[in-house]
Chain A
Amino acid sequence: MQILAEAEELPKTTNIKTQLVALWTSAVSALILLIAFIAFPGFWPPMSPRLTADEVASFYRDHTTWIRFSMVTFNLCGIMLLPFFCVVVVQMKRMASQSQAFAYCYLSAVVSGATLFALSDVFFAAAAFRPGRDADLVLLLNDLGWIVFIAPVGMILAQNLMLALAVYLDKGPNPVFPQWVGHLSLLTLFAMLPSACAAVMTSGPLAWDGALSFWLRNGAFATFTVVMFFVVRGAIHRQAVVEGVAR
């Protein structure tokens, strides 16, 4: 996006610039998170819930360094996705034909949901902190890490429900997001919903290492976030054009 030279010093330009900075902060963090995701030995393949306590304990002993690297990176960069979702809030508040209630509910869900991501890596990393701990305790930390990482999808579902409804009811002449963003948001919601069963199932596609609970859930969230990056960038651009900041 090219900021117009004459708009460079205007106060309203700073609002466009901070949204772009937030967008790119999260984009860089997402790339680092992808590296951490690839580096976590427990994801390739995802660890089975049927491993015994001794198998889990020896897994943490054998892969201590990579588990620490990936989980500390998750810890450091995970919440840096938050600025991106805050840009979505700012754009939702621009929707002309509604009262902004969806935007505040979305923000509330984003904040609560982020706390879960901040929690799961603590369990994994704590298990790797003293790999010599009793095997049952390593198993407990591993179970808690996996359950927190995969199962509590409710906040993301709430976020995507609010976003989809906001998009569908944004009927003005200049909608902030295209209508298909609503469909994508709902599709992601339904793809992630079944993984709540991962807190109960120990085998099959709904277990935390299963095709639905691990691959579909995480694939859907990653795809949604990447697509939304371009959608949100487009929305910021349209805002900048409307406000005479860019062309």
Chain B
Amino acid sequence: MSATVLSASGGEPTDAVRADPASKRDLWIVFWIFPIFFSLFGVIFVLLARVIPPPRPDVTTDQKVQWFAAHATTIQIGFAAVCVVFGGAAIANGYVAYQMKRMSSGSTFAYAYMGSMAVGTLPGLLLVALCFLAATFRPREPRITALLYDLGMLSFNGSLGCFATGYLAFAIAILYDKNQIFPKWLAYVSIWQIVTEVIATQMWVSSAGPYSWNGSIAFWLAVIVFGFWLNCQGIFLKFATDRQPAGTRPVD
């Protein structure tokens, strides 16, 4: 628009286009959705939906049916809530991609991050909710309920490539960046995230033990690395927001 004036901001080199007035209110609003969404995510998936810690893969059909019966109410409350709030994932990932666009390394991997995370939301977050909601919706033949149990857990813990691609995009963008939007060591943590996704491939062939979907290596090691990485990403997203000069936007 006519109000957009082309001038160097004097701050970071990529923030070439100035916008008026110099308010950062919009940045802070989207930033705060990141911690709010992931806190809700934690509460819902751990306390209500009971998929973290994961239910066991090595149980009989009847035990799976009993597990759903025992937790039906909290699963329904938790996953109905997920249907309302899971858009927060898109906002959180969209804002990370936005900050990545401010890097000197350009928009390529920002778009790759946004795209792979947007794809990953369906198999990696929502499909387990849909399967478990269908399982608790009405009594079914036990073998059908057991199918929904496996389908939900495997898609939730076994959707590897979408996130591995996102972590790779995040790591490469940081390593090439000269604007120091995120610290270099966070790129190496992201690479460890990819390693955990590769190790987690074993849950597709292992139905018990450390490499199964509730195993100490395929699940718990990955969750610890993920938790550390996510907290760091959130903290440095705040610092990046702090440092972005008011009234600037990334170049197209």
Q: List 14 A-B contacts (CB under 8 A).
A: A97-B21, A100-B250, A105-B90, A108-B114, A109-B87, A109-B90, A115-B122, A136-B141, A136-B144, A144-B134, A151-B80, A169-B26, A174-B1, A242-B2
Cβ B117 vs Cβ A108 within 8 A: yes
Q: Is B27 an interface residue (CB 8 A)?
A: yes
- Contact: B82 with A154, CB < 8 Å? yes
Chain A interface: which of B49-57, B61-69, B92-100?
A: B92-100
What is the interface of chain A, defined by CB distance below 8 A to chain B?
49, 93-102, 104-109, 111-113, 115-116, 119, 136-137, 139-140, 143-144, 147-148, 151-159, 161-162, 165-166, 169, 171-174, 176, 193, 196-197, 199-200, 202, 239, 242
Instruction: Report the bound CA distance from A177 to B182 in whole Å.
Output: 34
Residue among A108, A153, A157 having the largest count of chain B Cβ atoms under 10 Å: A108
Complexed CA–CA distance, A158 and B87 (Å): 5
Chain B 88-115 interface 0/1 with A at a Cβ cutoff of 8 Å (1 = within): 1111011101100100000000000011
Q: Which residues of B are in contact with A by a Cβ distance under 8 Å?
A: 1-4, 19-21, 23-27, 29-30, 33, 76, 79-91, 93-95, 97-98, 101, 114-115, 117-119, 121-122, 126, 129-130, 133-134, 136-138, 140-141, 144, 244, 247-250, 252
A99 contact from B24, B79, B80, B86, Cβ within 8 A: B24
B121 contacts across to A, CB distance below 8 A: 112, 115
Q: Is the CB of A99 within 8 A of B249?
A: yes
| Inter-chain contacts of A239 with B (CB < 8 A) | 1
A119, B3: Cα distance in complex, Å: 42
Do A137 and B130 touch across chains, with their CB atoms under 8 A apart?
A: no
Whether A155 pairs with B86 at a CB distance below 8 angstroms is yes
Asked if B118 and A108 sit within 8 Å, CB to CB, the answer is yes
Interchain CB contact under 8 A, B87 and A140: no
Q: Determine if A152 and B83 form an interchain contact, defined as CB atoms under 8 angstroms apart.
A: yes
Contact in complex: A100, B122 (CB < 8 Å): no
Out of B81, B93, B140, which one reaches A136, CB within 8 Å? B140
Docked-complex contact A154 and B86, CB < 8 angstroms: yes
Chain B, residue nearest A238 (CB): B1
